[in-house]
Amino acid sequence: MRRSAQVRAPGIGQAIAEYGPAVLLVALVFAAWEAATAVWKIQAWLLPAPSAIAKAAVDARGLLGPHLAQTVVETLVGFGAALAVGLLLALLIDLSATLRRALYPLLVISQTIPIIAVAPLLVIWFGYGLLPKVIVVGLVCFFPIVVGTADGLRSTDPDLIALLQSMGATRRQVFFKVRVPASLPGMFTGIKVAITYSVVGAIIGEWVGASRGLGVFMLRATNSFRTDWVFATIAVVSALSLALFLAVVGIERLALPWFYTKAREETWEEM
């Protein structure tokens, strides 16, 4: 009973053991950064101290707000489109071996094309509005979703499929009762990778042509030699990416409680 309770509720101690080293390392890096700028008297336009960056972020919150809102819209819309297209392509690849042989190489080739080279063309074709940024985010995000979902569908235990077929299950029932649940861990892995890249895709689209967004704010700060604002924007972008990643992790834990319970049990057995 004690073991099962610890498996279900790892507690604060385990959380500290898991995330404490990373937090400590980040704190040490910022402390060394702060000390280095003070000891060597590094000019603020070259490398501002973390405390100066934090102050600049607070002072510029009124300016950052509209740009942040624009980037969030571009990111969510683009990621939503990538999710829909990615899941559809994964299903098509899974349904037909011919489609897999035809589409999979094209998907791989699509990732060899530099997005920074495609983005200006999208601006020429579609203007400076929302659509080019959404397309850039979609191009950045859809590949991990397709690969993760398609590989998850193919990783289904064949014994489970054979068991359901022996019990008279139809192809539809096998798909929804066995193959879809088995593909969810792989699908969420692809989604977590994609959501992390999505904000970067929006920033790239804004660099090429936009009037608002964190990428635009970063460019203007760079041209004005406001290095503290550049670092503040980077911090905001990182925080946004982390928040979106944690949101996906939360959804994954709600959707796959059995998966995380099994992982904790295996970890406990190893310990």
Please tell me the distance from the alpha carbon of residue 198 to that of residue 195, in angstroms, as a whole number.
5
Residues 6+ apart with CB under 8 A from 175: none
Which residue numbers in the chain have pLDDT < 50? Answer: 1-9, 265, 267-269, 271
CA distance 94 to 163: 20
**pLDDT tens digits along 130-161:** 999 999 999 999 999 999 999 888 888 888 88
Give the pLDDT confidence score for residue 2 in this predicted structure: 43
Amino acid 82: pLDDT: 96
Q: pTM of the prediction?
A: 0.85
Is the Cβ–Cβ distance between 250 and 188 less than 8 Å? no
Please choose, from the candidates 145, 123, 165, the residue with its C-alpha nearest in 3D space to the C-alpha of residue 79: 145
- In tens, the pLDDT along 22-67 reads 888 988 999 999 999 999 988 888 899 999 999 999 998 898 999 9
C-alpha 228/C-alpha 50 separation (Å) is: 9
SS3 label, residue 168? coil
Exposed, middle or buried by CB within 10 Å (0-12, 13-18, 19+), for 245? middle
pLDDT recorded at residue 1: 40
Tokens of 219: 């460019």
Note the pLDDT of residue 260: 67
- What does the pLDDT read at residue 4? 43
**How many whole angstroms separate alpha carbon 142 and alpha carbon 82?**
5
263-269: which pairs have CB atoms within 8 A and are 24 or more residues apart? 264/7, 264/8, 264/10, 265/7, 268/3, 268/6, 268/7
